[in-house]
């Protein structure tokens, strides 16, 4: 059985990860640390384990091979440096960094340490996205011209992050503080959409965006929309936020010889290159889903084959998200500056 430690439990996905850990028989969480001891205590109780007052107790424990980082995003840089420096495999909840430069620094530390890395972009495991990637590789869509992706929910409408919500007394309020989270609602949910767009269509040349808020109970942006010009010429749009009551057509890919889109959980596919793909009925010949990104990390540390996310992808991701917010603030197009270039 592999021993794991927790370095930060602040993220809203912590409860779900705890459930997954409790359902595994090949993983044991030996210790939990958080800069707020009460958060660590609550999480440790649900895991049936102990807390430590000093993160060094986890980092210096030779039995602990991997560490899960679910802290405030602003603490990632310090924690990643320490965990990678200790030679521990690490899962870092998304995003890796709030800027391209910060993500590049962390990526270097991870690669220099030679440890396993994974983050929480679970949409890569979904059948629709795997199917689109397959069709792009097969060329059934021709030259791709336009793409759209959206990721929205009603978190701000439902005040999901308020004190008293979830496990902790202060709820998940840090996620509405740009100093700690790096982004607001647009960047939080748009982060998943951006990961899919970069994974499917490659590097981005320039972007523009608009973000805004509806309510005053959170001090950050709550929704927004961006436009991307990919280096290969594709034009993309990305919509995300916490103030939507539905999520119509979460993805659409349009090419000169085919189209794929999703509507009400059904996938529609039109291509003259594929028999039966006339776009009129839902397309059901989809690849199987992969496990959740967190499960893939746990699989990897116990020695199973697992498709993990390349940490260099997260550097490009951080640079584009940083550019979105610069573009929104300046009301302009912003060129993507690759860290170190």
For residue 300, being part of any structural domain is answered with no
For residue 304, being part of any structural domain is answered with no
pLDDT tens-digit map of 63-112: 999 999 999 999 999 999 999 999 999 999 999 998 999 999 999 999 99
For residue 54, being part of any structural domain is answered with yes
User: Smallest Cα–Cα separation from 45: which of 18, 12, 25?
Assistant: 18
Last residue of a domain, one of 65, 87, 118: 118
- CATH code for position 15: 3.40.50.720
pLDDT tens-digit map of 187-210: 999 999 999 999 999 999 999 999
For residue 302, being part of any structural domain is answered with no
* Residues 81, 106: Cα–Cα separation, whole Å: 7
- Mark whether 140 and 104 lie in a shared domain: no
- Mark whether 143 and 234 lie in a shared domain: yes
User: Smallest Cα–Cα separation from 91: which of 110, 78, 105?
Assistant: 110
Reduced to 3 states (helix: H, G, I; strand: E, B; else coil), residue 99 is coil
pLDDT tens-digit map of 107-140: 999 999 999 999 999 999 999 999 999 999 999 9
Provide the 10 A C-beta neighbour count for residue 202.
12
Query: How far is CA 111 from each of CA 80, 101, 116, 132, rounded to the nearest angstrom?
Result: 11, 15, 9, 30
DSSP string, 124-182: GGSHHHHHHHHHHHHTTT-SEEEEEEEEE--TTTTTTTSTTSSSSTTTTGGGG-HHHHS
- Mark whether 203 and 107 lie in a shared domain: no
Helix axes 127-138, 185-201, angle to 10 degrees: 30
What is the total count of domains within the chain? Answer: 2
- Mark whether 97 and 130 lie in a shared domain: no
With tokens 């001891």, the residue in question is: 37
Last residue of a domain, one of 64, 85, 118: 118
- CATH code for position 269: 3.30.360.10
For residue 41, being part of any structural domain is answered with yes
Decide: 76 and 51 in contact? Cβ < 8 Å.
Answer: no
- Mark whether 168 and 254 lie in a shared domain: yes
- Mark whether 108 and 138 lie in a shared domain: no
Last residue of a domain, one of 101, 118, 135: 118
- Mark whether 55 and 99 lie in a shared domain: yes
pLDDT tens-digit map of 273-297: 999 999 999 999 999 999 999 999 9
**What mean pLDDT is reported for the chain?**
97
Whole domain around residue 231: which residue ranges? 123-289+309-335
Is the per-residue pLDDT at 341 higher than 50?
no
């Amino acid at each position: 059985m592999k021993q794991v430690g927790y370095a930060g439990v602040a993220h809203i996905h912590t409860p779900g990860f705890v459930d997954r850990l409790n359902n595994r028989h090949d993983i044991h969480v030996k210790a939990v640390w958080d800069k707020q001891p009460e958060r660590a205590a609550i999480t440790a109780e649900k895991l049936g384990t102990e807390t430590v007052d000093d993160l060094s107790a986890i980092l210096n424990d030779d039995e602990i091979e991997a560490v899960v980082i679910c802290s405030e995003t602003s603490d990632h840089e310090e924690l990643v440096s320490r965990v990678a420096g200790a030679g521990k495999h690490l899962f870092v909840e998304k995003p890796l960094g709030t800027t391209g430069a910060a993500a590049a620094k962390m990526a270097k530390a991870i690669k220099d340490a030679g440890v396993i890395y994974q983050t929480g972009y679970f949409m890569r495991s979904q059948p629709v996205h795997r199917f689109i990637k397959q069709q792009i590789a097969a060329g059934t869509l021709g030259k791709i011209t336009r793409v759209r992706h959206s990721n929205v929910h009603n978190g701000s409408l439902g005040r999901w992050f308020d004190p008293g919500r979830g496990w902790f007394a202060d709820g998940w309020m840090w996620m509405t503080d740009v100093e700690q989270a790096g982004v607001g609602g647009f960047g939080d949910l748009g982060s998943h959409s951006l990961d899919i767009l970069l994974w499917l269509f490659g590097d981005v040349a320039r972007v523009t965006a608009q973000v805004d808020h509806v309510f005053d109970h959170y001090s950050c942006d709550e929704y927004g929309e961006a436009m991307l010009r990919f280096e290969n010429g594709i034009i993309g749009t990305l919509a995300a936020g916490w103030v939507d009551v539905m999520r119509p057509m979460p993805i659409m890919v349009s090419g000169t010889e085919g189209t794929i889109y999703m509507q009400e959980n059904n996938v529609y596919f039109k291509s003259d290159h594929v028999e039966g793909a006339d776009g009129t009925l839902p397309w059901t010949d989809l690849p199987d889903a992969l496990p959740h990104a967190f499960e893939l990390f746990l699989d990897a540390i116990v020695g199973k084959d697992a498709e993990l996310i390349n940490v260099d992808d997260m550097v490009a991701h951080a640079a584009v998200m940083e550019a979105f917010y610069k573009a929104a603030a300046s009301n302009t197009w912003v060129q993507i500056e690759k860290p170190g270039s």
